[in-house]
Amino acid sequence: MSWIVDNSLTWFQKFCINVLKCGPIPRHVAFIMDGNRRFAKKIHLKRKDGHTRGFDKLAETLQWCLVLGIKEVTVYAFSIENFKRSSDEVDTLMDLAREKYKRLMEEKDKLMAEGVCIRVIGNLELLPEDIRKLIAEAIIMTKDNNKVFFEYCIRLHF
Ligand code: FPP
């Protein structure tokens, strides 16, 4: 699934957005990704598919934020604890991140049209080098955009 979901809202979704826009819209919203594995277990999917569905939900959520005019979105997606999972699962998550960052680079036109500035914050040194490179490319490519700021947090220490 794409990072920037095409604007294919239903009549009812458009109605809800117009209602929400009548009130104050927050400037900054933050999300913590959680429950991917529990969701997969509940509907008898493989863990990997639970993580993929989690990413798809994130992309959908970003679309809502764009449409609502939320200026800054922060996603806390990968903690130091997550690196302690089985190497199989960490590899699966890294493969998914690699695939999604590659996809992000292919969606340059959409990102530029929407004015999305990508920021990745945290300590990136445990990530494979090719993913760090993709992240650096995404940050550099979108650095002058200023309509929406999308921050992706990895391995933060609190
Ligand atoms: C939370 O559910 C999900 C994570 C800790 C990993 C999220 C990361 C990805 C899906 C990688 C996607 C890549 C990009 C570029 C966004 P959980 O696994 O903790 O599930 P649980 O709460 O049911 O145990």
Give the 3-state DSSP-derived string for 7-36, with helices as H, strands as E and coil as C.
Answer: CCCCHHHHHHHHHHCCCCCCCEEEEECCCH
Question: Ligand 1 mean position to 22 CA, how many Å?
Answer: 33
What is the pLDDT, as a whole number, of residue 29?
A: 95
Pick from 122, 124, 118: which is nearest to 104 by CA?
118
Q: Which DSSP string corresponds to the chain? A: --SS------HHHHHHHHHHTTSPPPSEEEEE---HHHHHHHTT--HHHHHHHHHHHHHHHHHHHHHHT-SEEEEEEE-GGGGGS-HHHHHHHHHHHHHHHHHHHHTHHHHHHHTEEEEEEE--TTS-HHHHHHHHHHHHHHTT--SEEEEEEES---
For residues 15 and 24, what is the distance between their CA atoms, to the nearest angstrom?
16
Find the mean pLDDT for residues 17-36: 94
Pick from 78, 76, 79, 97: which is nearest to 150 by CA?
76
- The CATH architecture that domain 28-155 belongs to is 3-Layer(aba) Sandwich (3.40)
Pick from 157, 86, 82: which is nearest to 127 by CA?
82
pLDDT averaged over the chain?
Answer: 90
Question: Ligand 1 mean position to 96 CA, how many Å?
Answer: 10
Break the chain into its structural domains and give their ranges.
28-155
In the numeric block, the tokens 């959409």 are attached to 110
Nearest residue CA, atom 10 of ligand 1? 51
What is the pLDDT, as a whole number, of residue 5?
A: 65
Share of the chain above pLDDT 90, in %: 64
The residue whose CB lies within 8 Å of the most ligand 1 atoms, and thus the one to mutate among 4, 5, 36, is 36
Tell me the pLDDT tens digit for each residue of 61-109.
888 898 899 999 999 988 888 888 999 999 999 999 999 899 888 888 9
What is the pLDDT, as a whole number, of residue 10?
A: 87
What is the pLDDT, as a whole number, of residue 2?
A: 67
pLDDT band at 155 (very low <50, low <70, confident <90, very high): low
What is the pLDDT, as a whole number, of residue 20?
A: 94
Residue 77 CB burial class (10 angstroms; 0-12, 13-18, ≥19): buried
Tell me the pLDDT tens digit for each residue of 124-139.
888 999 999 999 999 9
The residue type found at 144 is D
pLDDT band at 158 (very low <50, low <70, confident <90, very high): very low
